[in-house]
Amino acid sequence: MKSKATFYHAGCPVCVSAEQAVASAIDTSKYDLEIVHFGNARNRIDEAEKLGVKSVPALVLDGGVYHINFGASMADVRG
């Protein structure tokens, strides 16, 4: 069974760069990768914060949160 990978971002330049590089490097034979853009999916903000996402871009692999560089804080995302 594949594991779950979720890449959370907010469309910021740092996010887009990370999405293009990191998200595209994920082994999709092992992971079901979902890209969540908070600009289009504000209803996912609570879920991300509960998982421990503090800033974007962030990659969640099997429940572990990996913040990648720093684009914006979740407070900024929430606005």
End-to-end CA separation in angstroms for the chain: 37
Stretch that binds its own copies, among 34-42, 43-51, 61-69, 71-79 (CB under 8 A): 61-69
Size of the site for its own copies (CB under 8 A): 21
Task: Name the residue among 16, 4, 13 with its Cα closest to residue 47.
Answer: 4
Residue showing tokens 């082994």: 27
Q: What 3-state DSSP class applies to 56?
A: strand
| Interface positions, 18-57, toward its own copies (CB under 8 A) | 18, 21-22, 25-31
Q: Are strands 31-37 and 55-61 parallel, antiparallel or unpaired?
A: unpaired
Judged by CB under 8 A, the stretch of 14-22, 39-47, 71-79 that binds its own copies is: 14-22
Among 56, 59, 72, 77, binds its own copies (CB under 8 A): 59
Residues that bind its own copies (CB under 8 A): 5, 17-18, 21-22, 25-31, 59, 61-62, 64-69
